[in-house]
Amino acid sequence: AQSVTQPDIHITVSEGASLELRCNYSYGATPYLFWYVQSPGQGLQLLLKYFSGDTLVQGIKGFEAEFKRSQSSFNLRKPSVHWSDAAEYFCAVGAGDYKLSFGAGTTVTVRA
Amino acid sequence: GAVVSQHPSRVICKSGTSVKIECRSLDFQATTMFWYRQFPKKSLMLMATSNEGSKATYEQGVEKDKFLINHASLTLSTLTVTSAHPEDSSFYICSAERQRTSYNEQFFGPGTRLTVL
């Protein structure tokens, strides 16, 4: 079975600074990888996904993620964060049965 | 496109009563919908997979008699929490699957906050 680890529970970053959220997965085959963002009390919004091909994936809101098979990682990055990026971020891995397994999430706080 | 709604967004009920939560795919047909439960500051836990016209498949440890799922049409799935108790209080999120050529993508609803008094 697949699993996802997000090592950072909480990250605080200054507005305008860069952000990187870590995600490591465990899965025997080529995974389908996702990053979602959740604002307080809201559902999940897809930021980006990786299925195959180019390992650097561009998403919405200026986010990107890089798939590194050798490291079993799919880290999310943003060059310059905005106060509106404060939210909970979830990494997820999908398998052949289309079920998603989510990481525990990383809370991002943006300070002025 | 690919909008999923949930109703109600928030519900408070007394212990022992039943609560029904609706999940609708507004602009696409979904043969499969998923129900998740999210505890505060925690990840999403898959509860069950709901397939249109057939019985739901529950994940291990989820009580199917407590969490009744019905997927009566290609755009509607319902979750009924029966004889709710305070420990059932949680944030319930549904997702609807839209078929793609490479991978069936899930689209998430905004969630329902259930509080059982």
pLDDT along chain A (112 residues), means of 10: 90 97 89 91 87 92 96 97 96 82 94 93
Mutant choice from A32, A42, A52 vs B, greatest count of B C-beta within 10 A: A42
- Identify which of A41, A43, A98 has the shortest CB distance to residue B104: A98
Residue B80 is predicted with a pLDDT of 97
For residue B59, the 8-state DSSP code is P
For the record, the structure tokens of B83 come out as 């004889």
Contact assignment for A49 to B105 by CB distance below 8 Å: yes
- Name every residue in B having a CB less than 8 A away from some CB of A: 4, 6, 32, 34, 41-44, 46, 49, 91, 93, 95, 97, 102-111, 113
Chain B residues closer than 8 Å to A107 by CB: 41
Distance of CA B85 to the CA centre of its chain: 18
> For residues B66 and B56, what is the distance between their CA atoms, to the nearest angstrom?
13
Residue A99 is predicted with a pLDDT of 82
Residue B100 is predicted with a pLDDT of 62
Q: How far is A68 from chain B (nearest CA, A)?
A: 20
Give the residue among A23, A16, A70 at the shortest CA–CA distance from A49. A23
- Identify which of A49, A51, A104 has the shortest CB distance to residue B43: A104
Contact assignment for B109 to A32 by CB distance below 8 Å: no
Residue A33 is predicted with a pLDDT of 93
A4 within 8 A of A92, measured Cβ to Cβ? yes
- From first to last of its 117 residues, what are the pLDDT tens digits of chain B? 688 999 999 999 999 999 999 999 999 988 899 999 998 777 889 999 998 888 899 999 999 999 999 998 999 999 999 999 999 999 999 999 887 656 678 899 999 999 999
Residue A93 is predicted with a pLDDT of 92
Backbone angles phi, psi at B79, to 5 degrees: -120, 120
Q: Is the peptide bond before B8 cis (omega within 30 degrees of 0)?
A: yes
Contact assignment for A98 to B32 by CB distance below 8 Å: yes
Show the 3-state SS of chain B: CCCEEEECCEEEECCCCCEEEEEEECCCCCCEEEEEEECCCCCEEEEEEEECCCCCEECCCCCCCCEEEEEEECCEEEEEECCCCHHHCEEEEEEEEECCCCCCEEEECCCEEEEEC
